[in-house]
Amino acid sequence: MSQQILIAGGGLGGLAAALGAVRAGWQARLFEQAEEFGEVGAGIQLGPNAMRLLASWGLEAQVQRLAAFPEALVVHSALNGAVLGRMTLGDFIAARYGAPYATIHRADLHALVLDAARQAGVGLKLRSRIAAVLPGVGAVALRIEDGSDVEGDALIGADGLWSVVRSHVHADGPPLATGHLAYRALVAQQELPAALRQQDVQVWMGPHMHLVSYPVRAGEQLNVVAIVHGAPRGDAMDWDNAAVTTELLAAMGAVAAPLRDLVQAMPRWRLWTLHDRPPMTGPDEMVRGRIALLGDAAHPMRPYLAQGAGMALEDADELRRALAQANGAVRDVPLALRRYALNRWKRNARVQARARRNGRIFHSTGFVRWGRDVSMRLLGERLLDLPWLYRGG
């Protein structure tokens, strides 16, 4: 009889974990609190490390159909618009790392993995908010708010930044505000003036801010994310709020005309207050007994390395390998989950730390900003290309 894994959270990481568990020979039951499956937000950048995994899961053709594949990543000064550095993507990066660099709408990727999970036979349960985690002897259980209990051999907390499951693994309190605000917008390229339409990844760096734009949905839409410094807005957990262009422009300060034009061309903005946790310090932050954490529940990270989704997908694939080893003659589930955590925590911690460092560099001022710009002009591609990251863990 197959072992059963319970998964809390129906986001990208939870669905990928469920898909991996089924492919490892387990029965997977996933519990999502929302009324329906879906994703908020807009774009995701997928480095070659993430794209290789999606291809290995049989999703390459679907991603090819829905994603965009930029030819370059171009870094500009937000103050004067000058090009500081460039990284070649397209066929070059695909040949170098065995997979391309893609940009995709978050909802499109979520829908692909959701469909794959359904086809694999994952048990998907909506309107199932978790009330409690009930560890037991030789099993673990979830109590749902409707009063029902469900039991399994293992539990994966993939319930995001505000994870309920996390406190049963690593009770370190709620995530902390970073002091950064993310403004996000999505627009059809045909609605933009020709000069503002883009098919590459464009990064603008300025004092206390940066902005990233890139195509999604086969290039038909443009995703724009601006991150500025600012105090949290409203209820910390109410992270998706309407925003206005004038507030963003004021926070950005004096920037180059092309950047200002791009911001003003967006029909609407949504505002996120960014939170994170310190980089992980050991595997015990990811696993305890039959309970393990995955994705943002384990290692939320700032978006300055564009690897939040990539790390969740890598987690899911490593979990698949660990579960496969626990589904045969050896059935030590806690040992298998600990092996998963041991194989993931250092890489996740490195990405968390590097993302924080990038944020300081992106938003730097004074002499540090001057040094950044000079280094980028001299060593642009060598600084932007990250073999340790794109070759995988």
Q: Which sequence positions are flagged as catalytic?
A: 214
| Count of C-beta atoms within a 10 Å radius of residue 223 | 26
Alpha helices, H only, the chain: 12-23, 48-56, 60-66, 90-97, 106-120, 245-252, 257-265, 308-325, 333-362, 366-384, 387-390
Query: What tokens does 158 get?
Result: 């993939």
* CB of 140 closer than 8 Å to CB of 128: no
The continuous run of DSSP H or E covering 326 comes out as none
Q: Would you say 323 and 338 are in contact if contact means Cβ atoms under 8 Å apart?
A: no
Tell me the Cα Rg of the chain: 21
Structure tokens at 261: 């034009």
- Asked if 306 and 47 count as a contact pair (C-beta separation under 8 A), the reply is yes
Dihedral sign for Cα atoms in the order 77, 205, 212, 55: positive
287-288 sheet: strands from edge to edge = 123-125, 27-31, 4-8, 154-157, 291-293, 287-288
Contact status, residue 251 vs residue 228, Cβ threshold 8 Å: yes
Nearest to 272 by CA among 242, 306, 311, 308: 242
